Amino acid sequence: MIETLDIEITQTKESRLPQIDFANIPFGRVFSDHMLVAHYSGGKWSKTSILPYGNIPLSPASSMIHYGQSIFEGLKAFRTDGGETLIFRPWANWERMNQSAERMCMPQVPKEMFVEGMRQLVGLDRGWVPSNPDSALYIRPFLFATDAALGVRPSEEYIFMIITSPVGPYYNNPLHLKIETEYTRAAMGGVGSAKAAGNYGAAMYPAKMAQQQGIDQLIWTDAKEHKFLEEAGTMNMMCVIGDTLITPPLTSTILPGVTRDSFLTLAKDEGFKVEERRISTAEMIEAIEQGELKELFGVGTAATTAQVAKLTFEGNTYELPPIEGRVISNSIGEKLLRIKKGQEEDLHGWNTRF
Ligand SMILES: *Cc1c(COP(=O)(O)O)cnc(C)c1O
């Protein structure tokens, strides 16, 4: 049962929808007609509004700009063959946003504002949910600090917003990743498990260095020894060694991906062997050299199932097994996508339907 939420809606005078070529949309650059906005001050949330998408006024002293109290979420809505709209696991993203908020000393976002607000926003812009097979409406909820004060302390005022963007695939081709052993994304006790804005800015320089060598992205390793695989910064990493699906356990340095959780759940349902445990770089390279590494891939909302074709470690580049033969990632990845699109029974109650 979803609680009703009183939302003030101001509709756009002219939809931009007729100008959009859904067959050619770059990831995250085209935004739907409306956005949701709520203000927090004096210890409480204001009435939630849905407005035409547009710029927002901000003080140049806003503490988010200076000290980085800014967190976000990412999820997707899909169009079913019958024309319904499904949003995948919004409750999981709501919980995770509040965990990020707690870590960053920001206020909790009420469930009805997040989930019901999102349903109303996506409902109003339902024409923006793409129907082509590998597309979806990407939903970006975010929360940031707006106190106009330069003292370093938690802000007393915040804005919560949701914007949405029709998207195609994030990666178009199998990836070439590098295991990063010099730079660090997250250290124990830090904010790696929060979807905090600063994590992404900090990861750009090492990624850029690798991209200059033709590498797509990095697999981060632990900050202390650079010996154990962590995640890829926009997606969690999984591999199949022998017949076992393995992924690093959740710690304070790994973002608890909703896709990761969904993937592990479905793999267990299907009876595959699943282990959440540390994987060392030495184990990974040995498994590749002995032909025991069968699959390596990333999982995330934007990336979906992103296959890794090549892996670079300490100057050596390894060709990984052909993508077509990757039984676990291909079958679970497809099953997950079918559930998201309402083409397969949603046994875990993951979809909100309207
Ligand atoms: C968002 C994100 C992921 C993937 O999480 P999903 O909930 O599956 O989209 C993985 N790693 C990082 C650092 C992320 O920000």
CB-based contacts of 222, cutoff 8 Å, min separation 6: 228, 230, 253
Q: Using the predicted structure, report yes or no on whether residue 284 has a pLDDT greater than 80.
A: yes
Listed in order, the ranges of the chain carrying CATH 3.20.10.10 are: 175-340
The 3-state DSSP class for residue 24 equals coil
49: pLDDT confidence band, cut at 50, 70 and 90? very high
Contact 141, 161 (CB under 8 A): yes
Closest ligand 1 atom to residue 233 Cα is 13
Q: Is the beta carbon of 74 within 6 A of some atom in ligand 1?
A: yes
Q: Using the predicted structure, report yes or no on whether residue 103 has a pLDDT greater than 70.
A: yes
The fold of 175-340 is D-amino Acid Aminotransferase; Chain A, domain 2 (3.20.10)
As given in the structure block, the two tokens for residue 304 are 């979906």
Task: Tell me what the mean pLDDT of segment 131-147 comes to.
Answer: 94
Task: Tell me what the mean pLDDT of segment 300-322 comes to.
Answer: 97
4: pLDDT confidence band, cut at 50, 70 and 90? low
**Closest CA to ligand 1's atom 13:** 233
Q: Is the beta carbon of 195 within 6 A of some atom in ligand 1?
A: yes
Contact 237, 171 (CB under 8 A): no
Task: Tell me what the mean pLDDT of segment 306-317 comes to.
Answer: 98
Q: Is the beta carbon of 305 within 6 A of some atom in ligand 1?
A: no
CB-based contacts of 265, cutoff 8 Å, min separation 6: 348
2: pLDDT confidence band, cut at 50, 70 and 90? very low
Q: Which pLDDT tens digit goes with each residue over 319-344?
A: 999 999 999 999 999 999 999 999 99
Of all helices (H) and strands (E), which one includes residue 327? helix 327-340
Q: Using the predicted structure, report yes or no on whether residue 61 has a pLDDT greater than 80.
A: yes
- Residue 74 backbone dihedrals phi, psi, to 5 degrees: -150, 125
274 or 23: which leads in pLDDT: 274
Task: Tell me what the mean pLDDT of segment 133-152 comes to.
Answer: 95
> Measured in angstroms, how far is the CA atom of residue 303 from the centroid of ligand 1?
9
Listed in order, the ranges of the chain carrying CATH 3.30.470.10 are: 7-168
Closest ligand 1 atom to residue 93 Cα is 7
Task: Tell me what the mean pLDDT of segment 95-121 comes to.
Answer: 97
Q: Is the beta carbon of 255 within 6 A of some atom in ligand 1?
A: yes
Please give the class, per CATH, of domain 7-168. alpha beta
Q: Is the beta carbon of 90 within 6 A of some atom in ligand 1?
A: no
The four Cα atoms 63, 65, 66, 71 give a dihedral, to 10 degrees, of 70
